Chain A
């Protein structure tokens, strides 16, 4: 079946270091979404990418969608303790039931002050 792999599973950084999480889909996606879940909280939508090769920025966060629309990345520059949480990617399939959102397993980010 369709899968979205996300790596790494965990990342521990010093405050000020950069962080990147990667998502790879087994099939072409129509879009990809990123969510952040703080410890004890619920997933909160960050962004949606739709176009092949798209790059979007939100302050220190940079999101990319691959040319083949099968992979994506989230890069955080100069991490802060407020960035702590689990980052999930989730994509809609490009065919068939394209309302089904396929989730990655998430990357948990810990930031040492």
Chain B
């Protein structure tokens, strides 16, 4: 069964450092998403991406965040200067079906900012 893969599974970084989280969505999907989840809390939408551009972003997704699809397979989330409150699990997801169907989630990248 096709799956969304994410790397790294866990990253520890110092406050102020840049972090790049990587995702490989399912190959025939066209809509890509990043979500984050602080431990034990809700799933929070960060950004959606379609046709090589951001289609929607939340208020969490400020200037410190950016996304890119550099090579047609990877979908990356960059945090330019990490803050303590960026510590969370970051989930990548993708979907086909016009963007309103089932979301397939990766297993997540746990980011710990010290």
Contacts and interface: CB of A to CB of B under 8 A. Distances in A.
Interface in B32-68: 42-45, 48, 50, 55-56
A43 B105 contact: yes
Contacts of B45: 100-101, 103
Given A99-B31, A99-B48, A101-B45, A45 B100 contact: no
Nearest to A106: B42
B100 A42 contact: no
Contact of A33 (B98, B102, B106): B102
A100 B31 CA distance: 11
A interface: dominant SS: strand
Contact of B43 (A30, A43, A45, A100): A43
A97 B56 contact: yes
A50 to B, nearest CB: 9
B86 interface: no
B68 to A, nearest CB: 20
A45 B102 contact: yes
Interface in A49-76: none
A37 B44 CA distance: 14
B104 A45 contact: yes
A78 interface: no
Interface in A26-55: 30-31, 33, 35, 37, 41-45, 48
B31 to A, nearest CB: 7
Interface string B61-100: 0000000000000000000000000000001000000111
A73 to B, nearest CB: 19
Interface in A79-113: 88, 92, 97-101, 103-106
24 contacts: A31-B100, A33-B103, A37-B43, A42-B91, A42-B107, A43-B103, A43-B105, A44-B105, A45-B102, A45-B103, A45-B104, A48-B101, A48-B102, A88-B42, A92-B100, A99-B31, A99-B55, A99-B56, A99-B98, A99-B99, A100-B48, A101-B45, A103-B45, A105-B42
